[in-house]
Structure 1
Amino acid sequence: MERIGQVHPFAKGMGIAAPQIGLARSAAVVQPPGETPAIVLLNPRITTSSGETDEQYEGCLSFFDVRGLVPRPLKITVETTTLTGETVSTVYERGLARLIHHEIDHLDGLLYTARMRPGVDPIPVEEYRQTGRAWEYDGL
């Protein structure tokens, strides 16, 4: 994660799932923006998600040259296993919910393009004007 972060500024945070680096494991690491510690997800599953959603552009280390407008819930609850084998549930909201959901999708064999509305295509990164800026959420 540190090496990846040195290559590009990830103002929105970043993550990587084990299958993206050739590991057949249900594991992912998410690095939120700022100084927040990384979140390790082992055998994660989304147990609840809010009906309230928004659309934001997402990128992906699997195909770095495009961004896609993806609808996602504003709040999710994720059950995961700790390194000591305990099962815990955590609620994530807004940008962090988006990052976590994105990585869990990888573990379920989905890319963000599968979540995009029909008829909406990814745009080249050159056309994306929000690089280096956090996601914006109205009224939150």
Structure 2
Amino acid sequence: MALLKIARMGHPVLIRPADPVADPTAPEIRRLVADMAETMEDASGLGLAAPQVHVPLRLFVWRGGAGNILALINPEIEPVGEETEEGWEGCLSIPGLRGAVPRASRIRFRGVDIEGRPVEGEAAGLPARVIQHETDHLDGILYPMRMPDLSRFGFNEDLHRAAQQASRAAEETGS
């Protein structure tokens, strides 16, 4: 296994739609998934899409239930219902920044695993957010492109400091 170089915002591979994986069971796909899992672990990520490691293919790895790392190849997702929620997101391709992004609260997903077996299910909360974020990478979309309010986009340290100041001010005024 090997650590892969992560593409950063501005690299063309991140803004083009990825190609379908022709043979999910191919040895090179198995190797890519293993290297992506190791790279994601090393970077302390929750998910990593193939375009983020300069490979324009429709697959990603993510931390599933119980901390297991799962791969989803040629994924398709759809919202379940109309409900959305805003949540903070970061990205290994946009280091040091995060933003508040609206996403579907609940999704249905399907694809295949590295054995070529069908995978499908529903997800809510953080898993739904991660799957949507990674699928966006496969469509050439970075999370800031989903943000309707760029005033909620900034550097991690500054956002953290601002939140602490707001919390202290609220405590002082008793609200």
| TM-score computed with the length of structure 2 as normaliser | 0.63
Amino acid at match of 1:53: T
Amino acid at match of 2:112: T
User: Which letter maps to 1:76?
Assistant: I
* SS class of match (1:20): helix
Deviations 1:32-51 (A, max 9, x none): 47x42112110001133331
Give the C-alpha shift of residue 88 in structure 1.
3.2
Give the distance between the partners of 2:144 and 2:68, measured in 1 at CA.
Answer: 28
Computed over aligned residues only, the root mean square deviation of the Cα atoms, in angstroms, reads 2.3
Q: Which runs of 4+ in 1 moved over 3 A?
A: 1-8, 118-121
- Gap runs ≥5 in structure 2: 1-36, 161-175
* Largest Rg, 1 or 2: 2
3-state DSSP of counterpart to 2:47: strand
Alignment of 1:48-63 (within 5 A): 48-63=79-94
Q: Which amino acid aligns with 2:84?
A: T
Q: Does 1:91 align with 2:122?
A: yes
Q: Is the 8 A contact 1:69 1:120 kept in 2?
A: no
Aligned residue number for residue 26 of structure 2: none
Larger helix proportion of the pair: 2
Deviation at 1:3, TM superposition (A): 5.0
Please list the CA deviations of residues 80-109 of structure 1 after superposition, one character each: whole Å capped at 9, or x if unmatched: 113333333210111100011000000011
Note the C-alpha offset of 1:121.
4.8
The reply on whether 1:19 has 2:55 as its aligned counterpart is no
In structure 1, the partner of 2:70 is: 39
Partner residue, 2:108: 77
> Does the 8 Å CA contact 2:62/2:69 hold for their aligned counterparts?
yes
TM-score, normalised relative to structure 1? 0.77
Equivalent residue in structure 1 for 2:60, among 28, 44, 48: 28
Q: Give 1:28 deviation, angstroms.
A: 0.2
2:122 counterpart SS class: strand
Structure 1 stretches of 5 or more lacking a match? 130-140
Q: Structure 1 residues 86-95 or 98-107, which shifts more?
A: 86-95
Matched AA of 2:95: F
Separation (CA, whole Å) in 1 of partners of 2:139 and 2:127: 18
Can you list the C-alpha shifts for 1:46-79, whole angstroms capped at 9, x where unaligned?
A: 1333311111110000011110100011100011
Structure 2 CA distance for partners of 1:110 and 1:121, relative to 1, 3 Å: same
| Partner secondary structure for residue 67 of structure 2 | coil
